[in-house]
Structure formats: C-alpha cells, structure tokens
Chains A and B, each alone.
Chain A
Amino acid sequence: MGWLAILIPLVVFVVLGFVATLLFGWLIPALGGDLHSWYAALLKAAFILLGFVMPLAGVLTWMERRQSAMMQDRLGPNRANVGPVRAFGLMHFVADALKMLFKEDFVPANANKLLFALGPVMAIAPVLITFAVVPWGSGVCAGHLTDRLTDGQLAQCLDTGGGRFQVVHLEIGLLFYFAIASLAVYGATLAGWASYNKWSLLGGLRASSQMMSYEVTMGLAILGAFLVYGSLEPATIVQAQGDSILHWGVVTQPLGFVLFFTAAIAETKRTPFDIPEGESEVIGYFVEYSGMRFGMFYLAEFMEVIFTSAIVATVFFGGWQIPGLHADGFVAGQMPHWLVCTLQFVAWAVKVFVLCWFQLMIRWTMPRFRPDQLMRLGWKQLLPASLANILITAGVVLALMPGAK
C-alpha cells in the first residue's frame, strides 16, 4: 500500500496545478478580468491558502501521527471513516476539527480576555500572510495556454499582462517574510502571558527568547543566497536556479541551507526546539487553551511547517523548477504552456511535501534541547557560522563576478 502514499498526493497536486492553470490562464481572462488587479491577487491567495496550505496543514496533523506511528512500530490513527471509506484514517483531521469546534471554549477566570483571544490570532495570521511572497509556479500567460512559448516570450508576457503564480511580486520579498514572520512571536508570548498561568508564562518567555534568537540566524543565513542570486525576490531567486541542479541553493549555499533550515525548524517550535511547548516540562504556552483556540495554535504550527518547507524549497531547492524544463518543455517546442505550468506546480508541491515529511522525521527522532543549550547553539554556533557563511560567500562572489565590485 506504500505506493498509494506517493500516488495520492501526486494526483492531488496534478489536479491542483491544472486547476490553477485553468483558473488564471483561461477563466479569469475569459471573464474579462485583469490578472494584475487586486481581486486576482485575492483569488491567488484564496487558491493557495484554501486549496493547498490549509488542506495540507490538516493532513499533516494526521500525517504526523501516522508517520510517527510507522516510525515507532504502531498503527496510529487509522479508524476514522466516512461510511465505508476509510482511506487509512485520513478523515481523522476532519474529526479533529469537528471536535475542536464543539469543545468548550474555556477561558481562565483571571485571564486577560482580550489578549487571551488575540493570542491564537496573532499566531496564525502572520503565517497566512507570509505565503503572499511564495511563488508556486513561474506563472501563466493568459490566452496562450495551448501555445508553445519560449522562455523569453513567457517572461515578457508575465511582465505585461500574465498572471504570476505568486500572490504579490515584491522586490523586498524575503525581507517582507522576515518582517511578518517575526510577528508570530507575539502570538506565543501573549498567549503565555494572558493565560494567567505560571507554566504558560514560562512557555511564552521561552518562545519569545527562542524565536527572537533564531530569527537573527535565519536572516543572516539567507543573506548568502541573496548574495549569490542578487535578489530578495523569491520568484527571481527561483528563476536563477533553473538551468541545472548545480544552480540550486543547496549546492551553491550548503552551509546556508543547513543554518537556515535549522533556524527555521526552531521558528516552528518543534522538537528538538520545542522548549516553548516542552510537554514534559512546562506543558507549553497554550496550556490554558482549549477548543478551536487551541486548534488555531495547532494549525499555525503545521502551517509554519509548510511555510518553512515552501521557503526552503524556494531558496535552496529551485522552487518550481524542474532541471532542464523550459517554458516549452525539455526540448524546444515540446510541451504546450498549460502542461508546463501544471508540471511546475507539481514540482513545487512535491518539494514542499517532501520537506514537510523530512521535518516530521526530525520531529520524531530527536530529544529536546535545554533552554540554555538552545541559546548557546543559536548565538554561539549558528550565528558565527552564518556570519562566516556571508563572508565566504561574499568573497567568492566578488572573485567570480567582475561586475560585483
């Protein structure tokens, strides 16, 4: 049955990619819509969040338990079903969501009601917003779905009237991501403080110190990639990784990849960096939350996992690029535009999915750090290493690129 675990996501991704291509390449232009308009951006956000991120986050809650069960020689949740359809218990995440919606929404007597309510929102909102800069395909050129476009034609089309598969095309792209993602720390800290519980306060403080420390490394680790690709715009970075696998960030920036991935996992607050949660120590900043408020923290955690995967795939694994695939296929004039668009979306989704799987593997393999060890790792090991990475990268870039001076 193992092949189903590969086949089912693949089929879903193909369908999603095709839908996106049709929606932005044919339906909206056919209805007279403008792909550069605000409502097109809104539709793109709705598509990527409701079509990909939210369902995947839901499935990941089930996948984490099922995968950990496989690792630990258990069965895991496999019973939830809709009538006779069991699908390995995939419906567990629906059952979970229903349970959380109907559970009592308990607010501790002395909690600060406003901030207590704000905590989960502050945790989940930044993650949703950051998806705005993630490119999930090169983009679709309206009206040319069945044509065989060259790279140049596509680029020109995207600049003039086509729809990029990216909610906003921001020149400051990655900086925007850091700016918004750093807001997530407020969610955890507010939740910990507003609950009026010493344990959750400890968890909230742990979360704030940890997330602030690791943001530094995260920002510096990605600067290396910035130097290599000369842009902070994710779509441009992906474009630069196209020709071969040797141009991928993981090859040009191996140290940067390890540092960024480590720091990003720390940002998601999962084992081995789960000290804000630390279920055997401080139980976590959300100890007083129940029902859907807790569900939002839970969902936010998994969306952070997806986002981490998405940004790592974008910067270090060539995003939607398939090595050798141009806008008209592997050889000139081989594939129509719609097929290339679909393939690129599938490539992106598969990369994200595999990186999610990898993060779950890490989650269930490692023990937890102690807070002081975590800080030491962050400030005394990762930070100097990321600075060294920048210096070395800058030196190499300066030596290899005459124009860089």
Chain B
Amino acid sequence: MSELIFAYQDSGEEMTLNMGPQHPSTHGVIRFIIKTDGEIMHEAVPDVGYLHRAIEGIAEKCSYEGFMPYTDRVDYVCAMTANHAWAAAVEKLADAKVPERGEYLRVISDELNRISSHTVALGAMAMDIGATTPFMYILREREYVNDLLEMLCGARLTYNYHRVGGVGWDMPTGWRDKVLSWLDHFEPIIDEFDRLICRNELFIKRLANLAAVPAAEAISFGLVGPNLRASGVDFDCRRDVPYSVYPKLQFNVPVGRGEMGAVGDSWDRYYVRLEEWKESVKILRQALDQIQATEPDFYTRPKKLKPKGDAMARVESARGDMSVYVVGEGTTNPYRAHFRTGSFNAMKLIQAKSRGLMVADLVALIASLDIVAPEIDR
C-alpha cells in the first residue's frame, strides 16, 4: 500500500482521494485510495486491515469450545452462521455427533439471522443511494428478528448460540409460535419493500448495468453467496454442499436474471438478496414444522475434545460460502484455524471494476457487494 501512495506522481490530471477509513458508506473501517479525474475514477484501490483483530490467531490460544464467542466477531451482522461454521468444522475434526433437534435449531437460527443480515444489506444500500426511508422500514423488521433471537439465546448481535455438538439452549416455550406469526407478518413486507424501492425509477437508474460481473469473472474472482448467484451462477452451499438438515428442506436458489440490465449488475445483486428472504421464510416454515417431530435432546457435549488431523466445513452465510479450516494436534487448542469469507474476495473485485465508474457509483458498488468490514480483516 505504501508503494501506491509514494509512487504517486502528480500529473496534474489526477486527484488522489482518501475514502476512509472513516467514511459513512464504506460500511466499517475500510479505506479506498481513489484516483479520480473529477467525478470519474481511474482506480479505487482497497486498503484492508484496519479492522484486523487476529481472530484466527486467538483461535490458537483458545480451546475449541472457548473460541465460539470470537466467531461472532468474524461477521457481526450474521454471527449465527459463523458460529455454525466453526461448530461444524470442529465436529468434523472431532467426529462429534449433533442431535437432530440441535441441527434444526441451528438452521432456524441461521435463517433468521440471514434475514436480518439481508435487511441491513438492502436497507444500507438504499441509504447509500440516498433513500433513507427504506432503511428505517426494513430495520424495523430486523428489530423483530433480534427480539426473537434474544428470546432464543439472550443476545441481540453476538449470539454465541451454537456449541460443538449442538446448540446452547432449546427454544423457549411459545417461541415457535412467535416465529411463525412473525413470518406471517414479514412475508407481505417483502413485497411492500419491493414496491417501495426496488422498482423506483431513480433506484434502477443508479444500479442497473452498474459494475456487471459476468459468471466467468465472478467465479475467477472467487465471489460467493448472493454476489455469485447474482451473476447467474447457480451455486448454494446449502444445496450443493449439503450440511446440517438442509437436504430435508425444500427451497429454491434465486439467481440473477438481468431483469433491469446486464446479468450480475448491482441491481441483480440487490434483488437476489430480496428473493433470498422469500426462500429463508420457506425454509423457516418447514424447519419449524419438522422440529416438532424431533427428540428433545439438542446438545451432546463431546466427552474429550482433543482431536488430531484437519477438517474443513463450508456453510452458506449471508455473505456466501463461509469455510472454516481447522487443524488439531491432539491438544485442547486448535493448531491453526482459518476463515474463508466472502467479503475479502469481493474487495478485489472493487479494484477491478472501479475504472471508469463515478465516485457515487463506488458507494453503490460497495453496498451492492454487501461488504462487512470485520469479515474482510477478521
């Protein structure tokens, strides 16, 4: 990064702009070094690392179970799937069993968290485009999800709910009905939100054809999750790398169709998330139905957690394929842990796509990739 700054020579044509680390629409402490000619960018170079807290290093100092609260901090907007990824990886490594009810509770909490994560993504995106009202409307729904998750595990943001071998608590009495009644309330809201902003002329103008990523390019950049699917690649870990009880659930995988412009443009990335809400609702209804038939046991604590070898688990987080690779050496602590997250790869894409965009477009592009700063740096 320093080379980039010091190699810069004033040609009299370009202006170097420092966007961040403190900028309202970089979604956290991220810095972009932008070379612009007026409004038009020549290049935007992302400078990551301002939020690096060595979470993977901390893993080596913690026990397998003790590391669980730290995984919340990997992606605080969708902490539940990070929990899930870590638990799944360690279970694979230690060959631990999870009761069926525990798996269902994991899926239910994951999907609730996915919905709330997408509310932040879409609301913040509308706000970055300049429309503040959709943000308020949809964050209201996030409050309901937070309430539900608080009833489930006592926390509203960093849940620490999943355990190696299950989940921390069973769902409280009456919780299932509360979730179901909230889903009835939320489903019409999806359409309301669609009408409120997605079909707005100005909104489409800002996003259609902006930074379109063709399927091949998306794969080569290693995009995952909704960003990848928006480019028309039909891949979802929940379906294609089956884990937990997802094989027992019926759901579609929405992909970008280029409705408003090229396939894989920012509008597609936006709309895929909106469609994922509908799928999450579908999954939640089935899971809440099927969980009634399970045994009451939801957590089997592994007797001795000193595994040897390595394992990798892939989980579909709200920002896509979150993979955890963990190496054990037969001690209580992992020898090495690694989180592969979606936002980090998306950052590289920004640099490639930034040439010729306007400064205002960069904000929309960052928002459309749904970047969460701690997920980049970990």
Q: Write the residues of chain A forming the contact surface with B, with a CB cutoff of 8 angstroms.
A: 68, 71-74, 198-199, 202, 205-206, 271-272, 274-275, 278-283, 364-373
Tell me, yes or no, whether B197 is within 8 Å of chain A by CB: yes
Cβ < 8 Å to A, chain B residues 338-374:
358-361, 363
* A205 partner residues in chain B, CB cutoff 8 A: 38
Tell me, yes or no, whether B186 is within 8 Å of chain A by CB: no
Q: Which of A73, A274, A275, A282 contacts B140 (CB 8 A)?
A: A73
A222 to chain B minimum Cβ distance, whole angstroms, is 25
* B126 partner residues in chain A, CB cutoff 8 A: 367
User: CB distance B132 to A281 under 8 Å?
Assistant: no
Known contacts A72-B136, A198-B15, A280-B25; is A367 also within 8 Å of B360 by CB? no
* A282 partner residues in chain B, CB cutoff 8 A: 359
User: CB distance B137 to A366 under 8 Å?
Assistant: no
User: CB distance B360 to A73 under 8 Å?
Assistant: no
Q: Tell me how many residues of B have a C-beta within 8 Å of chain A.
A: 29
* Other A-B pairs, 14, CB within 8 Å; known A202-B38, A280-B127: A72-B132, A72-B133, A72-B136, A198-B17, A202-B17, A205-B38, A272-B130, A280-B129, A367-B131, A367-B202, A368-B129, A370-B205, A370-B360, A372-B358
* A366 partner residues in chain B, CB cutoff 8 A: 130-131, 200, 202
Label chain B's interface by main secondary structure.
Answer: helix
Tell me, yes or no, whether B66 is within 8 Å of chain A by CB: no
Once the chains are docked, how many angstroms separate the CA of A282 from the CA of B128?
11
Known contacts A198-B15, A198-B17, A202-B359; is A278 also within 8 Å of B130 by CB? yes
Once the chains are docked, how many angstroms separate the CA of A368 from the CA of B367?
15
User: CB distance B17 to A199 under 8 Å?
Assistant: yes
Tell me, yes or no, whether B203 is within 8 Å of chain A by CB: yes
Cβ < 8 Å to A, chain B residues 102-135:
126-133
Q: Considering only CB atoms, which chain B residue lies closest to A371 in the complex? A: B39
Q: Considering only CB atoms, which chain B residue lies closest to A369 in the complex? A: B202
Scoring A71, A72, A272 by chain B CB atoms within 10 A of each residue's CB, the highest score goes to A72
User: CB distance B130 to A371 under 8 Å?
Assistant: no
* B131 partner residues in chain A, CB cutoff 8 A: 271, 365-368
User: CB distance B39 to A280 under 8 Å?
Assistant: no
User: CB distance B137 to A281 under 8 Å?
Assistant: no
* B360 partner residues in chain A, CB cutoff 8 A: 275, 278, 281, 368, 370-371
Scoring B25, B130, B132, B197 by chain A CB atoms within 10 A of each residue's CB, the highest score goes to B130
* B127 partner residues in chain A, CB cutoff 8 A: 280
Q: Considering only CB atoms, which chain B residue lies closest to A273 in the complex? A: B130
* B128 partner residues in chain A, CB cutoff 8 A: 280
* A281 partner residues in chain B, CB cutoff 8 A: 25, 359-360, 363
Q: Considering only CB atoms, which chain B residue lies closest to A283 in the complex? A: B24
Q: Which of B15, B18, B200, B361 contacts A367 (CB 8 A)?
A: B200
B170 to chain A minimum Cβ distance, whole angstroms, is 34
What are 15 A-B interface contacts by the 8 Å CB criterion?
A73-B136, A198-B15, A272-B202, A278-B130, A278-B360, A280-B25, A281-B25, A281-B363, A282-B359, A364-B132, A366-B200, A367-B202, A368-B131, A368-B202, A369-B206
Once the chains are docked, how many angstroms separate the CA of A283 from the CA of B17?
13
